[in-house]
Structure 1
Amino acid sequence: MRRLGGLLGSRANISTSKSLTALDEPAAYVELAEAELSKGSSPFHKLGLSTALFLRAVLGFEKEVMEKAHACLTDAEETASEHQRRAVRDPSKAHQSKIYNAGAEYALCHAESQLMSAVVAVLNESLTESLKGFYKLRKAFATLHDISEQEKRYLGRTGRGPGSSQVSVVTPGSGRETPGMSSGVLTPADSGEEEEDEDDFVDAKESGSAPGTPPFTHQSGAVEGDFENLSLRDTATNRRNGGTPPTNTPIELDSAAAEADQEIDFRTITSDPIDLFIHSGTALCFGLLQVILSMIPPAFARLLSLFSFRGDREAGLRMLWSASKFKHNINGAMAGLITLGFYNGAVAFCDILGRGAVPHTRLRNLLREMRELYPGSKLWLLEEARMLGADRQVEKAIAIVDQGQSSGLKQVNALRMFERSLNCMYAHRYEECAQGFIECVGMNSWSHGMYYYLAGSCYVELYRLHKGSDAKLAEGYAAKAEEYLHVVPQHVGKKGFMGKQLPFDTFVGRKIKKWDFRAEKWGCRMVDAVGMSPVEEMAYFWSGFRRRNVEQLRTSLERLAWSEDVKANPHWERESADEKATLAMLRATCYRFLGEIPKAKATITEGVFSHDLAEVKACDFPDTWSLPVAHYELAVCYWDEAGGQDGDRATLQKCSDSLLKVERWESYELEARVGLKITTGRETLRKCGISSP
């Protein structure tokens, strides 16, 4: 156990003199880590191996890697479950902790395996497998809550702090928090008979309990209660009242309790490496769960409501920051990567944000520490590039991604190439962008249709740029554009998410049909039937306008203006309403980022809202997304016009009213791409005291 504690407490010493971490990417290290971890049969070896395969799976979305990861994760779950049962049967032979119950380290391994398995299941193309993944998510949540409660009780007994529990579990009608929760790893019951940990989708013990029926109690003392009112909301009052909330209503987190949580450094509580592993792992997993559940689009949230989950972003981020303090173990490294990724890849590109929503200094310090600790990792370079992109320095972001040699993991190389290509698109470096996405086809099997579409769209832009000055060069670009765009239909529909075609595949497949239809109808070649700039449209969906500097935004306006130039584009007079609405919406976005708010509002009103939904739907293969998204853009204009959270209340209410219109809109293509922005905007307004009717 001591040797195992050393394994978990710092960098992974895996039977050699070399020191590895799960985030080192050079091929030799990755292969060495997987080979060495494969030799061990403990839950920790299997969790480590599963984590390595999981990272490969989620970075590359390759089906064969996901299948291998799923098999390995299932093995890790079963092994952790068996070790946890043994520890409960004979605690004297288990790790002796003053904080956690016997076998808690194995329960955590089981929960982490379940969480990763749930992600892999959701990425699977089967709806049934996705639902099974949510069931595992639910079981993992119960485990994490149980461990968190053990930790809170210890801190309460020793007077060391308010505790670290981030959840409130309420049984229906009782108004009281259950004493504990099932670990999700079924342990021997009081009768002495051993319970099996089932992976079947139906959980009879939970669904079969009638109201008023005593909850099923495990030998460990944990209680398996009703999940209907299970909430991921942090309740500061709950902690102050010793774990019993006064009502079933979720209680908002107060800032004083948040600061108290941040002041607790668990390394001052214990030096036991196993306990530190349990604490950091619980903080990582619980934090990640809450953040993910807090940012899902409304439509997806309705599905998750079947599993009684609700997230709290602030509580989740606090836990991730806490876990990131343990930088020398896998939990801390993963927490750091997730925290940076969340801010640099999600929040940084939201528009309606309060003061301090992005802790820039703290993020830069975290990135600097991680780069110093893991100098060989290319993932940190990727995060630095994203941070530069958020600062509207895409040229520097491209240069950062180009630094150093290639990674030993092809999935990481694919991510770097994808990020570089996107930045080239934002910087209007179309040829490099196209070549980069074509390279992505050979590096990643996830969405070739989208890669070909993006490359073809760049060549459309190059064709338009040179059409009036160099006919031969323009013809070459036109041929490439049509070649790649006509390859798109061969690659859409082959990948799925929860049993449905990928949203981008649906989108690009429809666009190709639209352009081919127009080409036949208008009697022209396909490249001349393309409407307003598809590159600018794609840049919007990838939050590229926010990354552009003033010069790049003005170039975007020039590229959008091409459509209305009757000399360059003789088809403008017959252009459809949906194309005109989309053109106006993108132009207004450029004006907004240039600070020309009145002009942006006028362009939305006159160029987008002058077309109603029925008119847009009547177009051939219509683009309907610009109308609802224009309401979001108008909401951001009001937010900027008000001056943010402390601005004019009437203007902020207009912001809320515009946001409500897009929230209530019918389903439209790629709505998930703006879903996080809408969710974040609503939460920001709520904190400002501005609510929807």
Structure 2
Amino acid sequence: MADRTGYTATTLSDVAFDDVQLSLAGINLMLNNGFREAESIFLKYKNYSPLMSGGYSFVCFLNAIMSFEEDKMEFAMVALKETEKMCTVKKAEKSLRVKIFGNNSNTKKTLLPITLEDRLQRLVIYADCQLYMSMIIFSRFEISGFMKGGWLIRKAFKLYERIYNEIAAVYKDRFGQDITHPNQTKLPESETVPVDDDANSNDGTENLENLDFSDITEESLGRLKGAVSFGFGLLQLCISMMPPNVLKLVNMFGFHGDKEFGLTCLEEASRSTDMKAPLAMLSLLWYHTVVRPFFGIDGSNTEHCIREAKEILEVNEVKYSQSALVMFYRGRVQKLECNLEESLKTYNEAYDLAVEQREIQLICLYEIGWCSIIKLNWEEGLLAFARLKEDSRWSKCYYAYLTGVCQGALGQLETAQEMFKEVPKLSKRKNNQLEAFVIRKSNKFKKKLPTKPAAILMVIEIVYLWRALPSCSQETLDTMIETLDNATLTLEEQALCRMLKGALHQQMGSKEAAMQNYEDAMAYAVQGCEDPYVAPYCSFELGMLLTEKPSTASRGKALILRAKENYKDFDFENRLNVRVHAALQQLEGID
């Protein structure tokens, strides 16, 4: 039963429920398209227990992070701070004392200790709040918030680490299982993480050492392990993928990342009875269907991520057969398999199911647009991106750019030019690489009409940059190469054209032709190129191809290092740095 230290005195004896089961049921209801019903359940019981408060604030957070609407972000921050306050251990002990003894002055100094299980649960939820608040801060792309967001993540990371290590020690004692993080760093005894605004409180993680876990059942211990594994694993995974320049800053904050350990944590969390088990499952699907192919973590091979994602989907088929969000990831798998017709069918079905979840409808519409342009279906792509430009509050200038290139590819050149002129006016984010890119590309057409070949070149460019070429059919790849071969382009556009031809030949398995085009692109880039990212990207792509043969692996690695060290301040530099970082880890044995 729930610990009722969050109840008001009048409701203490009136309500009895299992908050563990109810919170998990609420999250499952949300995933099965019952967003409003789930929100209603969590809202009703949010003051009754930390778990229900945590569930409510998570629903608010998810609503905010998917919509990017400022009022929803502010509302989520308020909800998270309320949960944070409820989960402060000292306040919980004081609350329990007042409920039993009242405000009698003779008992004011008496704090009734809450159970160890509840203490750990509160600390995990407290850490979750720090993580979610940092994500909201980072999503605003404000430089002033980076330090605050970094500090919140640091608090979350250290709390997760200490709680996980304590539970790992108990698992080793009871069951002989060693689940300790293999590369963990032990904090100095003097370093603690505050979990209360009161500097004189003893609510920090210094109280997590030498605790008596004997009263915690195996079932509760497993749930707590799953609860802490979600946030700890997610952070480990995200930090492990950061490029070296960002990683140095992250290490200054005192945390580290391990991809395999992070994935293990998320898998453990997904099998638990904690309310975050479904969220861990979604995080794994996100990693396998979005992150791995987008950053090219497995190179051009998508078989592994497809297999991993399919296994997760099969295990959860019965439980989430009609879930729009799970269906979205099923569509991602079908897209990775180049089965675009089935993918479009799945996205449209998910769109229809997400009646109460506008944000899920928008991400489905985005994928419908992408599947359309991958098929060179400019009309359907135009319809999807034009609607996103009007309905989505996330990067309207990006959607305007995609609308413009589809119009140009259709030959609607005057309309496309007007759309490109609108792109800079719609930008609201400073220092954002995506918006800087589409603004720079759109500004070419302030005073001149785009041409149809130039518009198609821009479409193929963004398909390449978004690493969507593996989803293209052989027929589509042939059409793209034929279009580029016949296009009349300026000298400044030649470097980009050759790079894209190289990527197309590489996707088709013509590696010699691909390498020749990458070399030609780098030569054109020296003569003059309006896209400064072409040279470093070609250096990386050519280097990766050369590393496939032992005889040229050394030269290939040198080109990859050149892409990292010889070029700065180009479009999507961080994306390339992530790929370089992953590649160099795999090439550690090559001189």
Q: TM-score, normalised by structure 1?
A: 0.74
Distance, in Å, in 2 between the alignment partners of 1:310 and 1:562 is: 50
Residue in structure 2 matched with residue 57 of structure 1 by the alignment: 64
Asked if 1:358 is matched to 2:304, the reply is yes
Q: C-alpha displacement at 1:437, in angstroms?
A: 0.8
Distance, in Å, in 1 between the alignment partners of 2:120 and 2:197 is: 12
Distance, in Å, in 2 between the alignment partners of 1:397 and 1:550 is: 17
Asked if 1:576 is matched to 2:491, the reply is yes
Q: C-alpha displacement at 1:376, in angstroms?
A: 3.3
Residue in structure 2 matched with residue 286 of structure 1 by the alignment: 232
Residue in structure 2 matched with residue 461 of structure 1 by the alignment: 409
Cα separation, partners in 2 of 1:356 and 1:539, compared to 1, 3 Å? closer
- Kept after mapping to 2: 8 A contact 1:143/1:182: no
Cα separation, partners in 2 of 1:219 and 1:346, compared to 1, 3 Å? closer
Q: Deviations over 1:501-528 (max 9, x none)?
A: 32121111111222225x2xxxxx3457
Q: Deviations over 1:157-192 (max 9, x none)?
A: 224211344552246xxxxxx569635425989xxx
Q: C-alpha displacement at 1:320, in angstroms?
A: 1.1
* Structure 1 unaligned spans of 5+: 172-177, 198-216, 224-268, 464-476, 520-524, 565-571, 643-647
Asked if 1:541 is matched to 2:465, the reply is yes
Residue in structure 2 matched with residue 36 of structure 1 by the alignment: 44
Distance, in Å, in 1 between the alignment partners of 2:552 and 2:318 is: 46
Q: Deviations over 1:409-438 (max 9, x none)?
A: 111111111111111111111111111011
Cα separation, partners in 2 of 1:653 and 1:352, compared to 1, 3 Å? farther
Residue in structure 1 matched with residue 32 of structure 2 by the alignment: 24
Cα separation, partners in 2 of 1:332 and 1:79, compared to 1, 3 Å? same
Residue in structure 2 matched with residue 487 of structure 1 by the alignment: 422
- Kept after mapping to 2: 8 A contact 1:515/1:530: no
Cα separation, partners in 2 of 1:168 and 1:13, compared to 1, 3 Å? closer
Q: Deviations over 1:298-326 (max 9, x none)?
A: 34334323313321111111111111112
Q: C-alpha displacement at 1:479, in angstroms?
A: 3.4
Residue in structure 2 matched with residue 212 of structure 1 by the alignment: none
Larger relative contact order, structure 1 or 2 (CA cutoff 8 Å, min sep 6): 1
Q: Deviations over 1:645-686 (max 9, x none)?
A: xxx433333332221111112121122333332222222223
Letter in 1 for 2:590: I
Distance, in Å, in 1 between the alignment partners of 2:164 and 2:54 is: 20
Q: Deviations over 1:4-46 (max 9, x none)?
A: 88332476457xxxx95443334542443454344x3432222
Aligned to 1:690, the other structure's residue is in SS state coil
Residue in structure 2 matched with residue 452 of structure 1 by the alignment: 400
After superposition, residues 421-432 of structure 1 pair within 5 angstroms as 421-432=369-380
Q: C-alpha displacement at 1:219, in angstroms?
A: 4.7
Match of 2:276 among 324, 328, 331: 331
Residue in structure 2 matched with residue 469 of structure 1 by the alignment: none
Distance, in Å, in 1 between the alignment partners of 2:50 and 2:2 is: 15
Cα separation, partners in 2 of 1:57 and 1:586, compared to 1, 3 Å? same
Q: Deviations over 1:124-156 (max 9, x none)?
A: 242222210110110111111111121122123
Asked if 1:112 is matched to 2:128, the reply is yes
Residue in structure 2 matched with residue 611 of structure 1 by the alignment: 524
Distance, in Å, in 1 between the alignment partners of 2:86 and 2:198 is: 16
Distance, in Å, in 2 between the alignment partners of 1:489 and 1:679 is: 32
Identity percentage over the alignment? 20
Whose helix fraction is larger, Structure 1's or Structure 2's? Answer: 2
Residue in structure 2 matched with residue 203 of structure 1 by the alignment: none
Q: Which moved more, 1:135-144 or 1:122-131?
A: 122-131
Q: Deviations over 1:95-136 (max 9, x none)?
A: 355xxxx61110001001111111111112422222101101
* Structure 2 unaligned spans of 5+: 5-16, 97-108
Residue in structure 2 matched with residue 237 of structure 1 by the alignment: none
Residue in structure 1 matched with residue 105 of structure 2 by the alignment: none
- Kept after mapping to 1: 8 A contact 2:29/2:38: no
Residue in structure 2 matched with residue 506 of structure 1 by the alignment: 436
- Kept after mapping to 2: 8 A contact 1:503/1:669: yes
Q: C-alpha displacement at 1:690, in angstroms?
A: 2.7
Distance, in Å, in 1 between the alignment partners of 2:455 and 2:308 is: 44
Match of 1:95 among 90, 96, 115: 115
Cα separation, partners in 2 of 1:358 and 1:657, compared to 1, 3 Å? same
Distance, in Å, in 1 between the alignment partners of 2:279 and 2:541 is: 34
Residue in structure 1 matched with residue 18 of structure 2 by the alignment: 6
Letter in 2 for 1:685: L
Q: C-alpha displacement at 1:271, in angstroms?
A: 4.4
Cα separation, partners in 2 of 1:623 and 1:389, compared to 1, 3 Å? same
Residue in structure 1 matched with residue 510 of structure 2 by the alignment: 596
Please identify runs of 4+ aligned residues in structure 1 that moved more than 6 A.
87-92, 354-357
Q: Deviations over 1:610-643 (max 9, x none)?
A: 1344x43xx6xx211111101121123224xx3x
Residue in structure 2 matched with residue 347 of structure 1 by the alignment: 292
Letter in 2 for 1:485: F
Distance, in Å, in 2 between the alignment partners of 1:105 and 1:34 is: 17
Letter in 2 for 1:478: L
Q: Which moved more, 1:180-189 or 1:535-544?
A: 180-189
Distance, in Å, in 1 between the alignment partners of 2:191 and 2:31 is: 32
Letter in 2 for 1:364: K
Letter in 1 for 2:560: L
Q: TM-score, normalised by structure 2?
A: 0.86
Aligned to 1:371, the other structure's residue is in SS state coil
Asked if 1:663 is matched to 2:564, the reply is yes
Letter in 2 for 1:117: M
Residue in structure 2 matched with residue 567 of structure 1 by the alignment: none
Q: Deviations over 1:57-93 (max 9, x none)?
A: 2222222211211121122112211467629998975
Cα separation, partners in 2 of 1:117 and 1:161, compared to 1, 3 Å? same
Cα RMSD for the two superposed structures? 3.1
Cα separation, partners in 2 of 1:352 and 1:451, compared to 1, 3 Å? closer
